[in-house]
C-alpha cells in the first residue's frame, strides 16, 4: 500500500486570523501588565465565570477566549489558530469562519457552565480563560474536511487527520471524567468540538437544500454532504 509522505503545510495568514492573533497577543500583554503592576486579575472580569451570567455579565461568553493563563498556553492556541484557522477561513470565507469561531466560543462556555452547575469541573465561581475550546472546534472541522491529510501526534507520530482528531476527542472525554479537577477545562474543549460539529452539519444541510433546484448532474453529486465557502466552486470539497 502506498501512503502519502507527511508534510508540514504552512498556510497563508488569513485576514480574520491575523486580527485574532494580534488581538490575543495585545490582550495577553495587557493581562500580564495589569497583574504585575496593578495586582488586578482580568480573569474575573473578562474570563468566563458561570455564576456571573445570573448577574448579566454576558460579555464573558465571548471575552474569555482572548485571555490566557501563560506563555505556553497562548503559543499553542495561536499556533493552531494560524495553521488550521487560516486554511479554514480561506476555504469558507471570512463570514462563515467568524460564525464558526463564535459558535465554538459560546458553545464551549455554555458546555462548561452547564456541567459546572451540575457540580462537575471547576465550579461556578472559577473563571475559565483561553482559546482552547475554539481550537478544538477548528481541529474537529479540519479532521472532517481534510481527513486524509497527515498530522503529527505528539509532534512525532504521523497519522491521518481524521484519526488525530478522534484521538484528541477521546483523550478529552477520558480526561473530563477522571481529571475534571486538573485545572484544565476539558469539558469546554469537548463543547467547542460538539458545537462546531453541529454548525458544520447545519451549514451542510442548508447548502444541500439550497441546491434543490439544481441540474440533474448536480443533484447526483449532492448525495455527499458538502461544505464550501461563501463563494460557489466548480469542485466543492466533500465531507470525508
Least confident of 25-39, 52-66, 70-84, 197-211: 197-211
Q: Is the pLDDT of residue 7 over 80?
A: no
CATH at 176: 1.20.1540.10
**Boundaries of domain holding 28:** 15-212
Give me the pLDDT at residue 181, please. 62
Answer yes or no: is 187 within a domain.
Answer: yes
pLDDT in tens, 50-78: 999 888 899 999 999 999 988 988 998 99
Answer yes or no: is 228 within a domain.
Answer: no
Instruction: pLDDT band for 216, please (50, 70, 90 cuts).
Output: very low
Least confident of 95-99, 151-155, 216-220: 216-220
Answer yes or no: is 10 within a domain.
Answer: no
Instruction: pLDDT band for 229, please (50, 70, 90 cuts).
Output: very low
pLDDT in tens, 90-102: 999 999 999 999 9
Answer yes or no: is 4 within a domain.
Answer: no
Answer yes or no: is 156 within a domain.
Answer: yes
Answer yes or no: is 226 within a domain.
Answer: no
Answer yes or no: is 44 within a domain.
Answer: yes
Answer yes or no: is 2 within a domain.
Answer: no
Instruction: Provide the grid cell at 75.
Output: 503559543
Number of domains in the chain: 1
Amino acid at each position: 500500500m502506498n501512503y502519502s509522505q507527511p508534510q508540514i503545510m504552512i498556510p497563508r495568514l488569513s485576514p480574520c486570523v491575523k486580527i485574532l492573533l494580534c488581538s490575543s497577543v495585545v490582550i495577553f500583554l495587557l493581562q500580564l501588565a495589569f497583574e504585575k503592576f496593578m495586582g488586578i486579575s482580568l480573569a474575573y472580569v473578562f474570563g468566563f465565570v458561570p455564576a456571573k451570567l445570573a448577574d448579566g455579565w454576558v460579555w464573558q461568553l465571548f471575552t474569555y477566549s482572548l485571555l490566557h493563563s501563560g506563555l505556553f498556553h497562548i503559543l499553542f492556541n495561536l499556533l493552531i489558530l494560524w495553521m488550521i484557522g487560516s486554511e479554514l477561513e480561506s476555504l469558507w470565507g471570512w463570514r462563515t469562519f467568524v460564525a464558526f469561531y463564535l459558535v465554538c466560543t459560546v458553545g464551549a462556555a455554555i458546555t462548561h457552565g452547564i456541567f459546572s452547575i451540575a457540580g462537575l469541573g471547576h465550579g461556578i465561581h472559577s473563571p475559565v480563560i483561553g482559546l482552547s475550546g475554539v481550537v478544538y472546534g477548528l481541529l474537529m472541522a479540519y479532521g472532517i474536511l481534510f481527513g486524509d491529510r497527515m498530522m503529527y501526534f505528539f509532534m512525532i507520530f504521523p497519522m491521518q487527520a481524521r484519526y488525530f482528531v478522534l484521538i484528541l476527542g477521546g483523550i478529552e472525554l477520558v480526561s473530563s471524567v477522571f481529571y475534571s479537577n486538573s485545572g484544565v477545562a476539558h469539558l469546554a474543549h469537548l463543547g467547542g468540538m460538539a458545537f462546531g460539529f453541529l454548525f458544520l452539519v447545519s451549514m451542510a444541510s442548508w447548502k444541500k437544500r439550497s441546491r434543490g433546484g439544481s441540474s440533474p448532474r448536480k443533484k447526483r453529486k449532492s448525495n455527499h454532504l458538502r461544505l464550501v465557502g461563501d463563494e460557489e466552486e466548480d469542485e466543492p470539497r466533500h465531507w470525508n
